[in-house]
Structure 1
Amino acid sequence: MEEVKKKQAISLSEVQEILSKVDAEQMDQIQRWTYDYVSKFVSIDPKSAKDMKKQLIKECELTEEEAVEIVNIRPTSMAELRSFTFGWKKLILAETLEKILKIIKEHS
């Protein structure tokens, strides 16, 4: 088993990008299942996902993990966004939530 060199939260689009570079014959079963899953459900290209994640972290002061959650789900309404951010157990101002929705729309 390989040693973990770096631990980082990445979006499903980034997972798809990484796994697409691996020969399918070399993948283990979990990698194949993961690649199959992301191939079916990812609807944003990796560059847009990375850009959105960076923008959410910088402009909305989200953690990398929070930004990845937003990139993966891409909520479309304030109510939907609040349902995700509620679980983070920190206060996020309405203006920040509006900025998050604006960033999502810019990258969709």
Structure 2
Amino acid sequence: MEEVKKKQSISLSEVKEILGKVDAEEMDQIQRWTYDYVSKFAKIDPKDAKEMKKKLIKECELTEEEAVEIVNIRPSSLAELRSFTFGWKKLILAETLEKMLKIIKEHS
């Protein structure tokens, strides 16, 4: 079994990009299931996903995990965005939510 060298949260689009470089014949069952899943649900270019994640972390002071959640879901309204951020148990100002929506729309 390989040793874990680095742990990082990545979006579905980034997972699809990584697994897309692996020959399907060399994938194990979990990798195949994962690739099938991300192929259905990753709807954004990996480059855009990475840029959106970076901006959300820097400009909105989100953790990497929070930014990945937003990149994967890409809420389209303040109400939808609030429903996801509510679960983080931290106060996010309305202006930050607006900034988050702007970043999402720039990369959708």
Distance 1:2 1:36 in 2: 23
Aligned to 1:87: 87
How much has 1:42 moved relative to structure 2? 1.0
- Which amino acid is 2:88 matched to? W
Q: Are positions 1:36 and 2:36 aligned together? A: yes
Aligned to 1:76: 76
Distance 1:40 1:89 in 2: 30
Aligned to 1:12: 12
Distance 1:13 1:33 in 2: 15
- Which amino acid is 1:106 matched to? E
Unaligned runs of 5+ in 1: none
Runs of 4+ in structure 1 off by over 2 angstroms are none
Aligned to 2:98: 98
How much has 1:41 moved relative to structure 2? 1.1
SS of the residue 1:16 aligns to: helix
Distance 2:76 2:83 in 1: 12
What's the C-alpha RMSD, in Å, of the aligned pairs? 0.4
Number of residues paired by the alignment? 108
- Which amino acid is 1:31 matched to? Q
Unaligned runs of 5+ in 2: none
SS of the residue 1:98 aligns to: helix
Matched residues, percent identical? 89
How much has 1:76 moved relative to structure 2? 0.3
- Which amino acid is 1:61 matched to? E
Distance 2:25 2:104 in 1: 36
How much has 1:73 moved relative to structure 2? 0.1
TM-score by length of 1: 0.99
Distance 2:18 2:59 in 1: 27
Q: Are positions 1:22 and 2:22 aligned together? A: yes
Distance 2:91 2:10 in 1: 24
Distance 2:22 2:81 in 1: 34
SS of the residue 1:6 aligns to: coil
